Structure 1
């Protein structure tokens, strides 16, 4: 990890990264408890790790990487719709509220932008992959 990314990730943890990472982990635990939600629990844990250290990584659709699997087809669409109803909307709302609070300050603007990107990911996470930049 580059020094700039490391520095931004440390600041990120102070400005909402820990809070939202815990939210993603809570969503993963709730999904795992239901047994039916196990497929979404794995995705939520992956995104929780990304939420804790977002700088130096990016999220791209697996279809763009040339990977065709169950998450990139019609079942991925259905999975994303179920996720949206069960957990996606409240994670996206939490990211949005955190972004608004951070956007009030000039120092928080880059972190607000990162929270907005994560809000979009919270709405539609299935079929996405976290890759280094």
Structure 2
């Protein structure tokens, strides 16, 4: 078709490893960045562009599986699913001559910066 856009979802943990997310998650999300970069190296000349979205905390049900789930008040300050959807729409609406390689989106009140994230500690 001579062009196209691929949007891969990585994570904040793809750039900044975290004990909370764990080594397997950190590694796979970093691999998504390498995959996206490889697509751009190999297919950019064919008009195919790839972007990685790297969200910080997003208020989704998976947060309930954390060792200490965040409170409702904390979740309300996080990136919301519709915010992430708007970010992906932004990528899709960019002209084909542009490639946003990575888009990091985090809560303004970023608990990776401010603290308050509970993670398991080694015994």
TM-score by length of 1: 0.30
Larger strand percent: 2
Q: Flag the structure with larger Rg.
A: 2
TM-score by length of 2: 0.31
Larger helix percent: 1
